[in-house]
Structure formats: C-alpha cells, structure tokens
C-alpha cells in the first residue's frame, strides 16, 4: 500500500541532501534551519533575498532559484516566521512518528493481556503475552518509521508551505517587515 511511497525517499528526514523534489526551499536552507533549531548556527549570514538559500560571498545568480543578487538582493538573516515554521514542521514530524509508535504499543499491550484475563496465568497465556508484546513492539516501530515518517513528512511540509505562502504574500505587499 503506502509502503512503496515510503520507500521512495530516505526514511530519516534530512538524511540525504536534495533528494526530495517536493521540498519548498533549498536542501541547504533546510539543513541550515535544522542547525539553527539545534543551536549549532546563529541566524546570521548571507542569504538569497528571494528564496533564502545560503549564499557565499559570490555575486552570481542564486544556485537555487536563479535570482541575481542585483535583482533579488541578499539578506543577512532568515525571517523569524520561516524559522518558526520550520520548528513547527519538525515538531509535527516527530509527533506523528511518536504517536503511531505509542498507539501500536498500546494496542499490543491490550491484546497481550486478553489471554491472561480470560484464561488465567498458564504457560501458554504467558508465552502469548510476551510473544504479542515483542511482535507489537517491532511492528509499531516499523509502522512508525515507514508510514509515520511518510505522514509526518507530508503533514510537516504542508505546515511549512502554508507559512511560506503567507510570508511570500506579506513580502509582496510590503507588510512582512523584512527583506
Ligand atoms: Zn534564491
């Protein structure tokens, strides 16, 4: 079913740079946003004035969106609304994966208790209890990492896309307060 879709892309977010063509901003900006959220980078540097792709000192066209420095300019920080949107995106991705893992484990514990509840403590109900626990532990971890990762990715991306579109609209009518 959805396993094929999940297998089409790397299972850990940001594992391979630029592998996802449905990303909204450049892979380098995504990696940089992750570094800012982790406290490994300050929100300062040189960025494309159009797409916020991190730029070096060069003044050629932006390697991501193609805008020239003369036309789009550069900014020395990424708007906070974009960083905040990325934080919400990553938060949602993690929430979906963790929720699926916990739901699967909870179902497993409940099912594993059924034989014990109805047939009492015997060698086979104890075997079934631990067998079901181990099965659901592995099962829910797998579903969380495949299906949960795919759902979280799409949900998180939708959150980011909404904020990005709002920011572009605000920037276009001059109410964004940056760039
Ligand atoms: Zn650009």
Mean pLDDT by 10 residues, the chain (179 residues): 39 45 90 96 94 87 91 94 97 97 95 93 94 96 96 96 96 72
Position 179 scores a pLDDT of 43
Q: Where in the sequence is the domain holding 119, given as residue range(s)?
A: 3-13+79-172
> What's the structural domain count of the chain?
1
Identify whether 40 is part of a domain. no
Position 13 scores a pLDDT of 45
Environment of ion ligand 1 (residues, CB < 5 A): 48, 50-51, 53, 62, 64-65, 67
**Exposure string for 6-39, b = 16+ CB within 10 A, e = fewer:** beebeeebeeeeeebeeeebbbbbbebbeebbee
Distance 47 CA to ligand 1 centre (A): 8
What pTM was computed for the model?
0.79
Position 60 scores a pLDDT of 86
Distance 139 CA to ligand 1 centre (A): 42
Position 57 scores a pLDDT of 78
Identify whether 43 is part of a domain. no
Identify whether 59 is part of a domain. no
Identify whether 164 is part of a domain. yes
Identify whether 131 is part of a domain. yes
Distance 73 CA to ligand 1 centre (A): 9
Identify whether 157 is part of a domain. yes
Task: Quickly count: other Cβ atoms within 10 Å of residue 53's Cβ.
Answer: 19
Identify whether 123 is part of a domain. yes
Identify whether 111 is part of a domain. yes
Position 21 scores a pLDDT of 63
């Amino acid at each position: 079913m959805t396993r094929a879709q999940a297998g089409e892309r790397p299972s850990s977010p940001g594992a391979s740079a630029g592998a996802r063509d449905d990303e909204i901003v450049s892979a380098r900006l995504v990696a940089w946003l992750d570094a800012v959220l982790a406290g490994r980078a300050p929100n300062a540097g040189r960025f494309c004035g159009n797409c916020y792709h991190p730029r070096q000192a060069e003044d050629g066209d932006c390697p991501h969106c193609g805008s020239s420095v003369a036309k789009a300019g550069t900014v020395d920080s990424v708007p906070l609304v974009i960083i905040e949107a990325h934080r919400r995106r990553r938060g949602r991705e993690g929430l979906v994966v963790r929720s699926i893992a916990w739901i699967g484990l909870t179902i497993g514990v409940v099912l594993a208790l059924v034989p014990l509840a109805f047939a009492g403590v015997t060698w086979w109900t104890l075997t079934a209890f631990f067998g079901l626990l181990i099965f659901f532990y592995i099962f829910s971890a797998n579903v969380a990492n495949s299906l949960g990762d795919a759902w979280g990715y799409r949900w998180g991306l939708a959150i980011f896309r909404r904020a990005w579109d709002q920011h572009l609209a605000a920037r276009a009518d001059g109410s964004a307060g940056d760039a």
